[in-house]
Amino acid sequence: MKSISRRLFIKKMGFHFTLPLLSNFYPISSLSQEASLRKNFIGIFFPNGSYFPTSDGVGSWHWNNNNGVLYDLTQGSNRVNQHVMILRKIRAGFPTLDPHWQNPAAFLSGNQIRLSLDRPRCGRTIDQIIADTRGTPFRSLEIGGPYFHIHPLADHPNYPDIYMNRISWAQDELPLTPIVDPYQLFNYLFSGTGGNLKQIQYQHTKKKSILDFVSSELRSVAAKTSSEGRLMMEEYESGLREIEAGLGQNYNCEKPSAPNKIYTNRELNYVDRIQQFQKIIVFALKCQLTNVATMMYAPAVSGELYYHGDLGNNTYDHHAAAHNGGSAAKIARHLQVNRMHIGLLKHLLNLLKEHGLMNETLVLFGTDMSNGDTHNTNDIPTLLCGGGSDLRFGREITFSTQQTHTSILLSILSMFGIQRSALGEGTMRSTSNLNSFIKV
Amino acid sequence: MSKRRVPAGNLFICLALGFLFLFYQNCSRFEALPNSHSVSAESLDSDLVTFQKVNDAIFKPQCLSCHNNNNPSGGIDLSSYENLMKSNVITPYSSTSSTLFISIKVGSMPPSGNVESAKLNLLAEWIDGGAVESLDKSSCETKAPLLPRLTHYEYEMIIKDMTGTESSITELQTLPTLPPRYGFDNISNTKIDRVTAEAYINVAESVADRVISANSIIGLCDANLVQGQHNWENCAYPILKHVGERLFRRPLRSDEVIQYRAIFDRLSTLAGEAYVSEPVPNGTKGFNRSFREGLSATLISQLISPNFLFKMEYFPGVYDLTEKNFSIASKLSLSIGSTYPDEELWKLAENGSIKQESIIEYQIQRLLRKYSGRFSQNFAGQWLGFRKDLKKPFTDIDGAMAKESSLVFEEIINENQQVSHLLSPGYTYVNQLLSEHLDIATNTNNATFVKVASMERGGILSQGHFLKSTSSIGKTSPIKRGIWVLDSVLCRTLPPLDAAALEEIAEAQANIDPNASLIEKMKAHRNTSKRCYTCHSQIDPIGLALENWDHLGKFRTRYVDGSPIVSDLEFNGRLVKDPQSLSQSIETTREFRNCVQKKLEAYFGGVNPTQKAQCSTQVTQDTPVRQLTSETLLKSLKEDF
């Protein structure tokens, strides 16, 4: 009987490690304590995939050397690669649907978008399913990109723009609006105008009185109008109630410093803007104000985003750079943007580490396509990040066949103690998680 | 007549003494005011050929034996309207772009013999009329309820008009974008969720400060009051009534006033206790802390009220009978001027005469003139895509181009010019930057825009903004331009680009000689497959005809490599060899007029512009845009009176 190598055996079992063998034996004690159920979830989306000069499904999405866009994660005293798991051979998307619209919307749901300008629908996302089980003062945080992308040409009839700009859906037809300004997020979580206790309490009472008054107005209007109108009033009232519930919950929290500017220009201070968001999110997690956050580093397509302020002036917007067509200048810009986003992920992971939150937090970092030039929906760049010796952080896991992105979502849910037998729809429906591969 | 207000009394005299004569004497600027509406838009029933008629005359006797649903020859199934349209051989409104028509006309179909010319004409008439299935409108989309939110622009205009200030409210930029519906944000049925609510509260807090500090608002209080003397009666109530009526666009109800009073009293008392140690400057006329806190709390309540943030005018059941008059006034004012009803409209709502159709028509025309700039910015700016660039300075080329587009539309409204003028106005507007950029001789030497006569420039298809924004980096994109024109100017819907289409495009591109000329490459792509041909037989003639405008909107006759610009394709049955012939092939068509009408219907009433032909009204004549606008808005208001 012919013997087979250990590596081949593992590969035949469904996955293999592609790091050098020694890398697989990262000293576990140096990583963290055992972590089982996670407390916090952060989902991060970036648009337009990566640069894939090779057809091996790896392209530039690796950390092996300077050519890899993930290289920075392995560098310096603040390296975080030990907290990052690279997942390879992940597929997303539905046949016949453009991934720029489909995959951001389905990033956390695995559901198929409905092509209807009037009634966009995607389906409930896992961040909201996790939020259902938490009971924190702030149910979840949704953080938006620097602008709302409206597709300028009508080459996608019946594709609502909302799909490119929202990754969190509370209900089938209810995308959640992200916060677009760090100061707004700060104010939302850590509001308080200063002064003595009596004055703070007064400001609290003032806001509560206003919210109560407007809530009663909403009920009065709801009672008079049609069922559709009533739903709109109820949604608004529910938002006000949520804000009211958060009032005064943060008196004993350690607050981050407040952002000192309004970020109105999408091209300026992009990195600073995202870092401010991440800092506030981490303080909110630490303070138990919330356990769930989603972020769009930028909307899908991002055809109006150049990153002039941080990366220098350039002819190509992000989308144009992704469609490189072999142009060296475009490739260089796309890689620059990718590396900037990876730098931002590194910033977040370091904050989590610094505040002792790494072991209890899972971060899913992904995009809408693999090759931004060809819109390939196999081999989607996907990272799962966090701490704990129970998961194979610090490694690359390559499945032998393309696995649905939804299977990862099922895995994530299970790590929050939520067992689902299935998730997603159509070709993205999954009935099995990937725990046996990503867990130690 | 610098101000064109016509008091209601004058109008009655006009009517009493003979409509036409005195109307023209007193209201000379309104020469195009129709004496009865709907002269340009007619129902379909009279003149449209239906599928059934064509089916009986041509398809059943001569085509169905091969093109049936059992084994449709060439994949073309004529057994039903639905299957025929799925076969992608009909381009509604354009027989000359429809492969089915072309193949019959050139005699390649049917193989058994020719279709006689009368029947061929019937087929052309059916397609050119929109290829309607039937005159039965029961299958038309039921209009979704219109429950719009106030747009950020309307928010800003209302605050600016109310306070008499011009400076921008920058905090509004922190509000989440209102997703447009059918391309227009003013009809967006978007809910206010928790994040949006929080953002509105933040904005309201700073806007309340702005309102309290505005001289026009402070002036509502007794001028002789000094600090410490302001109270509900002498200051807070006049302010809250003034602000509330403008924000809610109707009179305040008595129960609302009572509740505002309660908030004011409670919060000013509590603030007095909380801030008791705060030093009060002596001898100032400003508000003290407790009064200011009470006023601010009440103003914030108004600024985040559903009565302000939602257009309650459209919500069924919310307004009582007397308020309905204000609802009409407000719909007019918001739709055209993005603000609350002005004094004249308010009076008409108060005395109830706003419900008279003739008065509404007159008011629409007045508002279109008064707010032509705002209407141009919001309707045309969203329709044609230049609105976002109007925020840029006019010393920036994108900003200047957006202003050109806006001013031309404004002029067409002001001068009551025909729909066809949108494509060939005969003039344009330029400032120094734009005149130099486009090489147009003018006498302007600064940032001011001046009107210049031009047969080449100014039309929608020759405006710098359209030409530049539909180009790729450093080069034109005939594809982008073609698609934009089909969608925005003709309201044609192309089949979606699904994965199979993307694959076919990639395959087609791979097989095209990279050294071929643009026209050859486009031809090769167009002829790759039936699917490619369906779209590109429409896209390519438009894109190629516009090649005389380069990616920056400048005129050229040759490409950079010296090769001549050639366009040899037909569109709407005409050779379109340059931008002018393209405009001519579109400007007088019913399809273009209907498209303008559909965009107006979407803007005013939330009607889906991509519906089937039999679901829209037909604009049968080349009608003045102001008149068409007036008729469409009037029609959308019909349910109110």
Q: pLDDT digit string (tens) for B222-231?
A: 888 877 788 9
Average pLDDT over every residue of B251-265:
96
SS (H, E, C) B521-566: HHHHHHCCCHHHHHHHHHHHHHHHHHHHECCCCCECCECCCCCECC
Q: Is B135 on the interface with A (CB under 8 A)?
A: no
Q: Would you place residue B278 in the very low, low, confident or very high pLDDT band (cuts 50, 70, 90)?
A: low
Cβ contact B202–A210 (<8 Å): no
Over the stretch A178-211, which tens digit does the pLDDT of each residue have? 988 898 888 888 865 556 667 777 888 899 999 9
Highest mean pLDDT among A252-256, A287-291, B27-31, B126-130 belongs to A287-291
Closest Cβ–Cβ partner in A96, A148, A236 for B499: A96
Is the pLDDT at B26 greater than 70? The verdict is no
Which site among B171, B201, B275 would you substitute to test the A interface, given the most A Cβ atoms closer than 10 Å to its Cβ?
B201
Closest-CA residue of chain A to B169: A264
Instruction: Please tell me the distance in Å from B192's CA to the nearest CA on chain A.
Output: 5
Tell which wins on pLDDT, A310 or B274: A310
With 0-12 CB in 10 A as exposed, 13-18 as middle and 19+ as buried, what is B378? buried
Is the pLDDT at B29 greater than 60? The verdict is no
Ranges A346-355, B129-138, B278-287, B386-395: which has the least confidence: B278-287
Highest mean pLDDT among A6-20, B335-349, B431-445 belongs to B335-349
What does the alpha-carbon distance between residue B296 and residue A77 come to, in Å, rounded to a whole number?
51
User: Which positions ≥6 away from A297 have C-beta within 8 Å?
Assistant: A44, A45, A46, A47, A145, A274, A341, A344
Highest mean pLDDT among B285-299, B400-414, B488-502 belongs to B400-414
Cβ contact B145–A226 (<8 Å): yes
> How big is the A-B interface in CB pairs under 8 Å?
201
Q: In what order do the strands lie in the sheet with A361-366?
A: A15-17, A396-404, A84-91, A382-386, A361-366, A40-45, A292-296, A141-143
pLDDT in the model for residue B232: 95
Tokens 């993005």: give the residue.
Answer: B338
- Contact criterion met (CB below 8 Å) for B38 and B638: no
| Neighbour count for residue A172 (Cβ, 10 Å) | 14
What backbone torsions phi and psi does residue B84 show, to the nearest 5 degrees? Answer: -60, -45
Is the pLDDT at B48 greater than 90? The verdict is no
What does the alpha-carbon distance between residue B353 and residue B347 come to, in Å, rounded to a whole number?
9
Cβ contact B194–A262 (<8 Å): no
Average pLDDT of every residue of chain B = 85
Q: Which residues of B touch A315 (CB under 8 A)?
A: 473-474
pLDDT in the model for residue B391: 87
Q: Would you place residue B280 in the very low, low, confident or very high pLDDT band (cuts 50, 70, 90)?
A: low
pLDDT in the model for residue A195: 62
Average pLDDT over every residue of A337-360:
97
ipTM of the complex, rounded to two decimals: 0.84
Q: Which residues of A touch B195 (CB under 8 A)?
A: 142, 176-179, 188, 239
Cβ contact A213–B259 (<8 Å): yes
Closest Cβ–Cβ partner in B304, B474, B493 for A157: B493
Closest-CA residue of chain A to B143: A118
Cβ contact A264–B497 (<8 Å): no
What does the alpha-carbon distance between residue A350 and residue A387 come to, in Å, rounded to a whole number?
12
Q: Which residues of B touch A213 (CB under 8 A)?
A: 259, 263, 301
Q: What is the CA radius of gyration of chain A?
A: 22
User: Which positions ≥6 away from A216 have C-beta within 8 Å?
Assistant: none
pLDDT in the model for residue B44: 39
pLDDT in the model for residue B123: 92
Cβ contact A209–B267 (<8 Å): yes
What does the alpha-carbon distance between residue B189 and residue B511 come to, in Å, rounded to a whole number?
46
What are the beta bridge partners of residue A171?
A: A174
**Distances in Å between the alpha carbon of B480 and those of B145, B366, B404, B471?**
33, 38, 21, 7
Average pLDDT over every residue of A150-156:
74
Closest CA to B603 of B635, B555, B578, B640: B635
Alpha-carbon dihedral angle through residues A279, A283, A289, A293, given to the nearest 10 degrees: 30
Q: Is A186 on the interface with B (CB under 8 A)?
A: no
Q: Would you place residue B175 in the very low, low, confident or very high pLDDT band (cuts 50, 70, 90)?
A: confident
Strand-pair category, A292-296 with A141-143: parallel
Q: Is B106 on the interface with A (CB under 8 A)?
A: no
Cβ contact A118–B608 (<8 Å): yes
Is the pLDDT at B414 greater than 90? The verdict is yes
Cβ contact A225–B310 (<8 Å): no
Average pLDDT over every residue of B67-91:
86
Q: Would you place residue A429 in the very low, low, confident or very high pLDDT band (cuts 50, 70, 90)?
A: very high
- Contact criterion met (CB below 8 Å) for A122 and A164: no
Closest CA to A140 of A148, A150, A130, A155: A130
Instruction: Please tell me the distance in Å from A377's CA to the nearest CA on chain B.
Output: 11
User: Which positions ≥6 away from B387 have C-beta within 8 Å?
Assistant: B377, B378, B381, B402
Is the pLDDT at B607 greater than 90? The verdict is no
Closest Cβ–Cβ partner in B194, B469, B610 for A157: B610
DSSP H or E run through B357:
helix B357-370
Task: Please provide the DSSP assignment of B425-477 as one string.
Answer: -SEEEE-HHHHHHHT---S--SS--EEEE-SSSSSGGG-HHHHHHTSBTTB--
Which site among B152, B172, B191 would you substitute to test the A interface, given the most A Cβ atoms closer than 10 Å to its Cβ?
B191
Q: Is A227 on the interface with B (CB under 8 A)?
A: no
pLDDT in the model for residue B98: 83
Closest-CA residue of chain A to B486: A154
Task: Give me the helix-helix angle, B397-414 and B625-637, nearest 10°.
Answer: 80
DSSP 8-state code for residue B489: I
Q: Which residues of A touch B306 (CB under 8 A)?
A: 214, 217-218, 221, 233, 236
What does the alpha-carbon distance between residue B174 and residue B418 come to, in Å, rounded to a whole number?
40
- Contact criterion met (CB below 8 Å) for A368 and A107: yes
Tokens 């309607």: give the residue.
Answer: B132
Please tell me the number of Cα atoms within 13 Å of B107 on its side-chain side. Answer: 2
Closest-CA residue of chain B to A245: B194
Cβ contact A154–B317 (<8 Å): no
Closest-CA residue of chain A to B472: A320
Interface of B with A in 338-367 (CB under 8 A): none
Q: What residue type is assigned to position B369 of the chain? A: R
Q: Is A116 on the interface with B (CB under 8 A)?
A: no
Task: Please provide the DSSP assignment of A311-334 as one string.
Answer: H---S--HHHHHS-TT-HHHHHHH
Is the pLDDT at B84 greater than 50? The verdict is yes
Over the stretch B192-232, which tens digit does the pLDDT of each residue have? 988 899 889 989 998 998 899 888 898 999 888 877 788 99
Average pLDDT of every residue of chain A = 88
pLDDT in the model for residue A23: 35
pLDDT in the model for residue B306: 98
Cβ contact B488–A154 (<8 Å): yes
Average pLDDT over every residue of A245-270:
80
Cβ contact B195–A142 (<8 Å): yes
Q: Would you place residue B99 in the very low, low, confident or very high pLDDT band (cuts 50, 70, 90)?
A: confident
Which site among A209, A215, A273, A378 would you substitute to test the B interface, given the most B Cβ atoms closer than 10 Å to its Cβ?
A209
Closest CA to B480 of B422, B580, B527, B549: B549
Tell which wins on pLDDT, A60 or B1: A60
Closest CA to A294 of A110, A91, A102, A105: A105
pLDDT in the model for residue A342: 98
Is the pLDDT at A285 greater than 70? The verdict is yes
Over the stretch B529-575, which tens digit does the pLDDT of each residue have? 877 888 898 999 999 999 999 999 999 999 988 999 989 898 887 89
Per cent of chain B over pLDDT 90 is 49
Average pLDDT over every residue of A362-381:
95
Cβ contact A98–B470 (<8 Å): no
Interface of A with B in 399-418 (CB under 8 A): none
| Neighbour count for residue B117 (Cβ, 10 Å) | 9
Q: Where are the beta strands (DSSP E) in B94-221?
A: none
Q: Where are the alpha helices (DSSP H) in A64-159?
A: 99-105, 126-132
pLDDT in the model for residue B277: 62
User: Which positions ≥6 away from B187 have C-beta within 8 Å?
Assistant: B146, B148, B181, B602, B603, B605, B606
Q: Which residues of B touch A154 (CB under 8 A)?
A: 483-484, 486-488, 493-494
Closest Cβ–Cβ partner in A155, A232, A316 for B497: A155
Is the pLDDT at A39 greater than 90? The verdict is yes
What does the alpha-carbon distance between residue A149 and residue A303 come to, in Å, rounded to a whole number?
8
Over the stretch B493-516, which tens digit does the pLDDT of each residue have? 887 776 677 777 777 878 888 888
Measure the CA angle with vertex B521, ends B520 and B523; round to 5°: 65
Which site among A138, A184, A263, A375 would you substitute to test the B interface, given the most B Cβ atoms closer than 10 Å to its Cβ?
A184
What does the alpha-carbon distance between residue B400 and residue B389 come to, in Å, rounded to a whole number?
9
What backbone torsions phi and psi does residue B279 show, to the nearest 5 degrees? Answer: -65, 135
Q: Would you place residue B639 in the very low, low, confident or very high pLDDT band (cuts 50, 70, 90)?
A: low
3-state SS, residue B203: helix
Interface of A with B in 205-224 (CB under 8 A): 205-207, 209-210, 213-214, 217-218, 221, 224
3-state SS, residue A15: strand
pLDDT in the model for residue A154: 62
Tell which wins on pLDDT, A23 or A250: A250
Over the stretch B120-147, which tens digit does the pLDDT of each residue have? 989 988 888 888 888 777 767 666 678 9
Average pLDDT over every residue of B611-622:
78
With 0-12 CB in 10 A as exposed, 13-18 as middle and 19+ as buried, what is A152? middle
Q: Where are the beta strands (DSSP E) in A236-394?
A: 292-296, 361-366, 382-386
- Contact criterion met (CB below 8 Å) for B601 and B609: yes
Cβ contact B198–A150 (<8 Å): no
Closest CA to B470 of B389, B543, B569: B543
- Contact criterion met (CB below 8 Å) for B458 and B427: yes
